[in-house]
Amino acid sequence: MNRVFILTPLMVLLIICVFSLAYLLSGKDPNKPPSALLNKDVPIFESSSLYNSKDIIKSKDIKNKKTLINFFASWCSPCKIEHPLFFEIRKKHPELYLLGFNHKDLTSDAKKYLEDDGNPYDFVGVDSDGLIALEFGVFGLPETYLINEDGKIIYKFMGPITMDVLKNEIEPLL
Amino acid sequence: MSSLVGFLSLVFAIGINFYLFLSRYIFKFQKQKFNFFIRFSSLLTLLSFFSLMYAYVVSDFSNYNVFQNSHSNKPLIYKISGTWGNHEGSMLLWLSILSIFSFFFSFTKNIDKSFQRLTLIIQSLLHILFGLFIVFTSNPFLVNSILVNEGLGLNPILQDPGLAVHPPILYGGYVGYSIVFSIAIAGLFQNTDDEWLYVAKKWSLISWTLLTGGIALGSYWAYYELGWGGWWFWDPVENISLMPWIAGLALVHSLMMVRGEQAIKKWIVFLSILCFSLSVFGTFLVRSGILTSVHSFAADASRGIFILLIFFIVTGFGFLVFLLKEPKKSNDLNLLFINKVSALVINNILMIIATLTILLGTIYPIIIEVMYNKRISVGGPYFNATVIPIMIPGFLLMSIAPILSWQTNKIQNSKKYVLGFIILSILVSIQSYFLDFNTWGFVGLLLGFWIILASIIAIFSSYKVKFTIRFIQIINPHIAHIGVGIAIVGITCSSVFQNELDFNLNEGDKFNVNGKIVLFEKIETTNQINFQSLRGKFLFDIEKNQSKEIQAGKNFYPVSKMITSEAGILHQWNKDIYLILGDQKNNEWFVKVLINPFVSFIWLGVIIMIYSGLIAVSRR
């Protein structure tokens, strides 16, 4: 009886460690909660172009074409890291529509950023007050969404995309 | 340069501890030499820590850690606190505090030298484990590969004076349990006399007092910085600190009560191991990024696995030694229906059940996510419904525990207590009859006031009141319990009787809070050194000549593009008027007013507990 009592802490320790290890190895990241929007219709949005405020894009404009939506900002350093990869995507998949949303940024800063690092997007929409990001449930920049021809969100990635992510997760869906 | 000094001294300190650990079994140290090495390694670790701090103070952005977490136009205090405002630096702080405890322990007099050395060897082992963790996964001395002249800034929410001192004090508590752990393990190995119990008592009191202070500071910070109007949220990180706190409380009480009973001694060893295990487990949960909160900086799986390994080794080693080297059984417990020993046993059982309940609620989401790939969150409702009822009998017992006898079932002056309880019940009943009745409010108030009253009766009827240091020390347990009673009253009132009012206001509007007229004077924006501030100025109780100003607003930190809320709080002894400035819509500002009754009692209660902790430490 006494032994059982003394063994209990070791058993509890083992259980806790096994589950914690399983959690760590599963690659789950609590910073990246599963998106509730997956397989749902893309939220309704309306945004003007960074370069011409009269040029407006609406959610229904991206129907019938595969679209990659990327939220970025000039002040976001991880965005800078993933930026070159969009040119890669551009080159390999010219049919994919690249829509960038400039999140809570100054127009001048954003323009300079795209001038310095290049502009891979087909359209750069302004989301200066962050309301579009709110609709998409953006957690932190950068974030990338893939929308299919039916206007459904089929993929979401939080943080800078990498070559691995592009090859193993995004390209199979294209 | 300072980074190089820091890194080398860190590695050198680990090397010394390695050497100490290995050479113990190769050749015998002279007593002086051994302590010299321990102290030398402690000083080296501190040198390493202060090198990092120096890099922060002079904004040396060639250090990657400084570059990531600091900015040259931050005020000096946040440059200093920035040292531990990130994962790497805070782990170095952890190691430094471990060293400080070893350093001071090496000066302990009146203690068997071989026992002291064994304790310090175990400390050395811990030093090696955490030191390697820092060097291999969390090195704060990495060189920045790009040339920069500005840093990325410290998370604005951490730029707060309360939070600058919260981590060192909290770590003082967490890491302080390492020495208690080492003492207990050394005690098991040597298994000679009971001397180690008295040494352990002092150190566990120090740790518990620091932990109390650290938790209270964090809680107070959450109260005025997060702008939610509460001070405790059953957030996983709070739970993690609460577990070693409750276990530590059980430990302190057991150490006070022990009179050589083997069963209690065994229990003390168990609690000592448990306290430090819970501290390390907390570090693991927060640092691995399994939990998200303001405390979890960049998550990294390799760190998580490393620190899980440390947790496994430390806890596994501790309980294994406990299993193999359990103290010999001799004299039994003197358990009666109600005497000191039985009250202690009951209270300890309740505290452990409470700790386990919190542990379950904290790890349950992890287990569920691993098994079912579903994300759930266990929050306030679970903890309120489980932990509080478990603690209630304990609170009832603690009101009379200090005056219970060792040998008999008799309670001195029991009539006075019964009479006091009856009068108090009537008073609280009348109070709840006139105010809106609430079960928890009734129970909480009765409990809190009963603890206070019983402790006061005990002081005046059991001792002769004298104003000497000796007297202060004798009544100290009662004072500590009065602190708990006051805190319970504050907790009950502020949570059960909280009142919330919402307004949409223009500048110049007047509104009514609890019969007092408040004027929303104006909105002001100013530029501070590292942020822009927006403040709504409110004048409370303008019908009186001495109206009080309350400022509530937000700060915008341009470096990190973050907005923090700054609640405006008017502290009064019986209530806090808590103002939160919301967003502006249609030219109207949304203003939330919370009336939190008797919040000040919580902090008063905590201060009394800390005072008692200090008095108890000073007692021989």
If you count DSSP H runs as helices and E runs as strands, how many of each does chain A have, helices first?
Answer: 5, 7
**Nearest partner of B481 among B443, B440, B449, judged by Cα:** B449
Query: Measured between alpha carbons, how far is B413 from B417 in angstroms, rounded to an integer?
Result: 7
ipTM score over 0.85, yes or no: no
Do B223 and B134 share a structural domain?
no
The 8-class DSSP code of residue B560 comes to T
DSSP 3-state percent helix, strand, coil across chain B (nearest 5):
65, 10, 25
Residues from B contacting A (CB-CB < 8 Å) are 152, 270, 273-274, 277, 281, 284, 288-292, 299, 301, 304-305, 308, 311-312, 315-316, 319-320, 322-323, 326, 363, 366-367, 369-370, 375, 561
Spell out the residues 6+ positions from residue B459 whose beta carbon is closer than 8 angstroms to its own.
B465, B475, B478
Burial (Cβ within 10 Å: 0-12, 13-18, ≥19) of residue B152: middle
- B558 upstream amide cis, omega within 30 of 0: no
User: Would you say how long chain A is, in residues?
Assistant: 174
Mean pLDDT of B162-190: 90
Q: Is the torsion defined by CA of B492, B495, B501, B506 positive or negative?
A: positive
Nearest-Cα distance to chain A for B248, in Å, is 17
Cα separations in angstroms, B250 against A160, B277, B352, B362? 47, 15, 8, 20
Residue B366 has its nearest CB partner, among A10, A20, A27, at: A20
DSSP B189-256: HH---SHHHHHHHHHHHHHHHHHHHHHHHHHHHHHHHS-SS-S----HHHHHHHHHHHHHHHHHHHHH
In this prediction, residue B124 carries a pLDDT of 94
Nearest-Cα distance to chain A for B319, in Å, is 6
Residue B121 token pair: 């060897």
Query: How confident is the prediction for chain B on average, in pLDDT?
Result: 86
Closest chain B residue by Cα to residue A14: B312
CB B450 within 8 A of CB B399: yes
B51, B54, B59, B61 alpha-carbon torsion, rounded to 10°:
-10
Distance, CA of B544 to chain centre: 41
In this prediction, residue B451 carries a pLDDT of 92
pLDDT tens per residue across span B381-401: 899 899 999 999 988 888 778
Do B120 and B150 share a structural domain?
yes
Residues from A contacting B (CB-CB < 8 Å) are 3, 6-7, 9-10, 13, 16-17, 19-31, 33-34, 75, 77, 104
B22 in helix, strand or coil? helix
Strands (E), B317-469: none
Q: How many CB atoms lie within 10 A of CB B531?
A: 20
Amino acid, single-letter form, for residue A55? D
Amino acid, single-letter form, for residue B620? R
Do B125 and B11 share a structural domain?
yes
Do B206 and B277 share a structural domain?
yes
Amino acid, single-letter form, for residue B470? R
Closest chain B residue by Cα to residue A33: B375
Do B506 and B484 share a structural domain?
no
- Residue B177 inside a domain? The answer is no
Query: Measured between alpha carbons, how far is B42 from B98 in angstroms, rounded to an integer?
Result: 8
**Interface touch B370/A26, C-beta < 8 Å:** yes
What is the CATH classification number for the domain harbouring A41?
Answer: 3.40.30.10
Residue B305 has its nearest CB partner, among A19, A24, A27, at: A24
- Residue A128 inside a domain? The answer is yes
Q: Which H or E run includes B474?
A: helix B469-474
Amino acid, single-letter form, for residue B257? M
Q: How many CB atoms lie within 10 A of CB B388?
A: 15
CB-based burial, B533-547: b 16+ in 10 Å, e otherwise = bbbbbbebbeeeeeb
**Nearest partner of A140 among A166, A103, A86, judged by Cα:** A103
In this prediction, residue A60 carries a pLDDT of 81
The 8-class DSSP code of residue A170 comes to I
pTM of the model: 0.82
**Nearest partner of B306 among B281, B279, B288, judged by Cα:** B288
**Nearest partner of B41 among B106, B90, B99, B108, judged by Cα:** B99
How many domains are contained in chain A?
1
- Residue A117 inside a domain? The answer is yes
B571 in helix, strand or coil? strand
pLDDT in tens, chain A (174 residues): 466 777 888 888 999 999 888 888 876 655 555 566 677 788 888 888 888 888 888 888 888 888 899 998 887 777 877 888 888 888 888 888 899 999 888 888 888 888 888 888 988 998 887 788 888 877 777 888 888 888 888 888 877 888 878 888 888 887
Q: Which residues of B touch A31 (CB under 8 A)?
A: 289, 292, 299
B349 CB-side CA count, 13 A: 8
In this prediction, residue B376 carries a pLDDT of 77
Do B94 and B218 share a structural domain?
no
Closest chain B residue by Cα to residue A16: B363
How many domains are contained in chain B?
4
Q: How many CB atoms lie within 10 A of CB A86?
A: 22
In this prediction, residue B331 carries a pLDDT of 57
DSSP 3-state percent helix, strand, coil across chain A (nearest 5):
40, 20, 35
Amino acid, single-letter form, for residue B439? T
Q: Which residues of A touch B372 (CB under 8 A)?
A: none
Residue B375 has its nearest CB partner, among A10, A34, A77, at: A34
Mean pLDDT of B109-126: 88
The 8-class DSSP code of residue B110 comes to S
Do B5 and B77 share a structural domain?
yes
pLDDT band at B204 (very low <50, low <70, confident <90, very high): very high
Long-range contacts of A127-133 (CB under 8 A, 24+ apart): A127/A47, A127/A71, A127/A101, A127/A102, A127/A103, A128/A102, A128/A104, A129/A104, A130/A103, A130/A104, A132/A43, A132/A45, A132/A47, A132/A101, A133/A71, A133/A101, A133/A103, A133/A104
Neighbouring-strand partners of residue A36: none
Residue B56 token pair: 């922060």
Do B89 and B28 share a structural domain?
yes
- Residue A30 inside a domain? The answer is no
Q: Which residues of A touch B273 (CB under 8 A)?
A: 9
Do B238 and B347 share a structural domain?
yes
pLDDT tens per residue across span B313-370: 999 999 988 888 766 655 566 666 677 888 888 899 999 999 999 999 988 888 888 8
In this prediction, residue B295 carries a pLDDT of 57
Residue range of the domain that includes A105: 35-173
Nearest-Cα distance to chain A for B67, in Å, is 13
Higher-confidence residue: B123 or B335? B123
Distance, CA of B14 to chain centre: 28
CB B532 within 8 A of CB B558: yes
- Residue B308 inside a domain? The answer is no
In this prediction, residue B508 carries a pLDDT of 85
Query: Measured between alpha carbons, how far is A156 from A167 in angstroms, rounded to an integer?
Result: 15
Nearest-Cα distance to chain A for B32, in Å, is 38
Tokens 């104006």: give the residue.
B522
Tokens 């060897």: give the residue.
B121
pLDDT band at B26 (very low <50, low <70, confident <90, very high): low
pLDDT tens per residue across span B266-305: 888 899 999 999 999 988 888 776 765 555 555 567 788 8
Cα separations in angstroms, B198 against A122, B187, B205, B256, B560? 74, 12, 11, 9, 50
Mean pLDDT of B235-254: 91
- Residue B304 inside a domain? The answer is no
If you count DSSP H runs as helices and E runs as strands, how many of each does chain B have, helices first?
Answer: 18, 9
**Interface touch B319/A33, C-beta < 8 Å:** no
Distance, CA of B328 to chain centre: 34
Size of interface A-B (CB pairs under 8 A): 70
- Residue B43 inside a domain? The answer is yes
**Interface touch A77/B152, C-beta < 8 Å:** yes
Mean pLDDT of B23-36: 71
Of the candidate ranges B243-252, B398-407, B522-531, the one whose mean pLDDT is the lowest: B398-407
DSSP A38-103: TTSBPPP-EEEBSS-TT-EEEGGGGTTS-EEEEEE-TT-HHHHHHHHHHHHHHHH-TTSEEEEEEE
Cα separations in angstroms, B36 against B16, B42, B103? 11, 10, 10
Residue range of the domain that includes B589: 499-599
- Residue B411 inside a domain? The answer is yes
- Residue B464 inside a domain? The answer is yes
Phi and psi torsions of B17, nearest 5°: -65, -35
Do B138 and B32 share a structural domain?
yes
In this prediction, residue B329 carries a pLDDT of 57
Residue B454 token pair: 């019983």
Of the candidate ranges B158-167, B304-313, B385-394, the one whose mean pLDDT is the lowest: B158-167
pLDDT tens per residue across span B591-607: 888 888 899 999 999 99
Amino acid, single-letter form, for residue B524? E
Residue B74, pLDDT > 70, answer: yes
CB B13 within 8 A of CB B131: yes
Write out B330-361 in H/E/C secondary structure. CCCCCCCCCCHHHHHHHHHHHHHHHHHHHHHH
The 8-class DSSP code of residue A166 comes to I
Closest chain B residue by Cα to residue A7: B323
Cα separations in angstroms, B385 against B354, B380, B440? 11, 8, 11
pLDDT band at B211 (very low <50, low <70, confident <90, very high): very high
Do B216 and B79 share a structural domain?
no
